[in-house]
Structure 1
């Protein structure tokens, strides 16, 4: 406070430089919000918010992170969005928690002779820069430091990833005041010219692209990625990829994932969806998951953005995309591309027919490793030091760990061939509102749409129970779902079923279904076979996708 003409007035807060660091930038944004709200003085703000003047001055000077309560009161008084500002506060806390080069200087132990600045702008540019920085592995002469070329709409995931990596991060204002032996960036920006040192700008989809090289190496581990996604050896993995904006795949075909699931046999195909991070950011994770809820319940692999797109593409058998960079890399890997304007199942059948098992497990291409060597040689030339004697590493990507893997909750079943005791059928994920061809519906206990459970001809519990419990469970299902012609529960020796009385009979049938010796097919598939058996009165041989088994019917022991 200061005295002017006998009156006490609040002093203006000290100037703050938004380039001085994340806390200063946050304070500058808060000041701008207050100015736009037309609140002229700190005293007026303190009166409106009940925040002490000393706290307001510290916050406005960039000397303190406001508490959640103080920030909410401040922002609401100034007419701002408190939820958005609390999210910004979380990002600020992550930035401040990350190690900084300034704080680490006094703990220096090694004696590096070259300083390399890695400039990042988005999580995607971070991935590319990290792939290139692998050239410096195990070289004690090199010290890496990161800085952020802040875009207009920062992605909070970038700060999260930097914190998890434990890298040294220098604020931009400090970064432009130092000299570097090499600067590496994976994006174009006029601000890069503000940094002092030779700049290596990484190209996309060209010779020497470290991301492409990583994909080449990762294709050899496709079976690892597929297992992590629940994709079996008999499945063909179809990857859908959409960038953001009005020309994107999902903008033009929003129902494509669900449509594709409904048209492809579940025992032969798996469908995954890779979305550009801006889609998750622009609409929110909750909203994106809500839009694709039916598809996920039908078996869609909605790839978590934290898993990245690279291991998914490395595991793919066919690809449907748009003009995004993921489509470019898929084409470079030789993955068959499917045209959405033509018959999808027909194209996919032709594409997977061309895929042979030897091609799937071909040895590491000769070009893999060459680009890493070329890139490292260029870097060390720019650094004016000798290249290490050991080979440049080409490291495969880790398997996806965050994507939710779910089998279809319900199936529509179509009998394709029936001759004698042999039946060939196809199962498709059941999609609500789908009126495609079907002979009957099998609903499992994974189904959350109760309407489907009450409309299905077959209802089955897929987790195995002891035999006595399974017998009791099918009776309970029998009463709960009166429209079902057959209810079933997986049991340790097989599948227990109970069926509605057939024409000309007065009692339900309770039976134990056992598949061929040594075969453990999906309980939902065995239940479908049991349903067909009821209409034929014979033990039957079932063929579908990779499954080929006999079912035998016995009365369970009491």
Structure 2
């Protein structure tokens, strides 16, 4: 991009149709982070006082396509670092120590607490981690984030023990992704029709996180052998698509007759439309349980005690060929969020506090989930 075509460039103020805006920078290191931040951005809609910019600290094909599809104004990371922003939004702790402005960081999955026991690259002898570890939250003896979004009061207790220096930045806001899914439940039949599910048909969704411990690697036969009493959909973690490429993913699933849901959006509507989700320790399975969809586990490695995946593993059967064994998990939404249906209001108030301007008077929007990225 030409650095001089945005309102930030030299002489940019003379090109701006809406000058004098507060500047919001959205850091997109991955599609996973980007999709979560898209839940946050509608809270800034209709405000002519704000201009949103996107930046890719490590540009790659998947993130570039993602931002191109949504029509975001993208500026180079090097350019972003030369300016001061009124608010920086992130869904990953990567790069925020260099962020040019006050940072709000939120989880990019269910809970700020990781389900896996250890950092993947750390080896067997590494200590268990939980996602609010001191080494993750601090840089050079300081907490770079101005607002650390938590989903549950229990996470606040963990933070107080692991990194008390971060407590002043903590905001227990609940889970905006879950809130959107709950708001979308009345549209279940609409989603089923859009997916081509006929009345009386069963929709089974196979959910997979990434890594070699996932459904996609551990149980590839499911995509071809799952009982065809209706329709089958596949929801794959965006990192699978990013690491292996769209062509390869579709090639691996060629001939499987499953509906392949795009990684950017559509997975939530598909989960809501499903009769059963067969998944693993990833967030998609947890969100499915939280909105009342019956679930089964295709695989589940050793996970951290007390994690959401551990809670599911205790009550959800392993899939052994019969989807009738799938179970609902009452109360699971309360394990994910202690501020059910409040995330939008809390997050908008936090963003405007960091921006230093008054919140709009209109109600906080809660948009139903979409089956497309448009």
Q: Under TM normalisation by the shorter chain, which class is it?
A: 0.5 to 0.7
Q: Which residue of 1 aligns with 2:217?
A: 251
Would the aligned equivalents of 2:35 and 2:265 in 1 still touch at CA under 8 Å? no
Alignment partner of 1:109 is 2:11: no
Q: Which residue of 2 aligns with 1:238?
A: 204
Alignment partner of 1:219 is 2:185: yes
Gaps of 5+ in 1: 1-94, 356-366, 403-558
Alignment partner of 1:272 is 2:238: no
| Aligned pairs for 1:78-89 within 5 A | none
Would the aligned equivalents of 1:98 and 1:163 in 2 still touch at CA under 8 Å? no
Alignment partner of 1:146 is 2:54: yes
Structure 2 length as normaliser, TM-score? Answer: 0.68
Whole-angstrom CA distance in 2 between matches of 1:342 and 1:168 = 45
Whole-angstrom CA distance in 2 between matches of 1:114 and 1:308 = 32
Q: Which residue of 1 aligns with 2:268?
A: 310
Q: CA RMSD in A?
A: 2.9
- Report runs of 4+ in structure 1 exceeding 6 Å deviation: 96-99
Measured against aligned partners, the alpha-carbon deviations of 1:474-506 in whole angstroms (never above 9, x if no partner) come to xxxxxxxxxxxxxxxxxxxxxxxxxxxxxxxxx
Higher relative contact order (CA 8 A, sep 6+): 2
Whole-angstrom CA distance in 1 between matches of 2:191 and 2:5 = 32
Measured against aligned partners, the alpha-carbon deviations of 1:208-266 in whole angstroms (never above 9, x if no partner) come to 332222222222222222112111231222111112221011211110122213xx43x
Q: Which residue of 2 aligns with 1:121?
A: 29
Gaps of 5+ in 2: 111-150, 152-172, 299-316, 330-338
Q: Which residue of 2 aligns with 1:396?
A: 368
| Aligned pairs for 1:141-540 within 5 A | 141-150=49-58, 154-189=59-94, 191-203=95-107, 204-205=109-110, 206=151, 207-261=173-227, 264-265=228-229, 269-296=230-257, 300-305=258-263, 307-340=265-298, 342=318, 344=320, 346=322, 348-351=323-326, 369-400=341-372
Aligned pairs, number: 284
Structure 1 length as normaliser, TM-score? Answer: 0.47
Q: 1:127 to 1:100 in 2, by over 3 A?
A: farther
CA drift at 1:345? 5.3
Would the aligned equivalents of 1:98 and 1:166 in 2 still touch at CA under 8 Å? no
Would the aligned equivalents of 2:27 and 2:57 in 1 still touch at CA under 8 Å? yes
Indicate the structure with greater strand content: 1
Whole-angstrom CA distance in 2 between matches of 1:224 and 1:98 = 45
Whole-angstrom CA distance in 2 between matches of 1:231 and 1:273 = 14
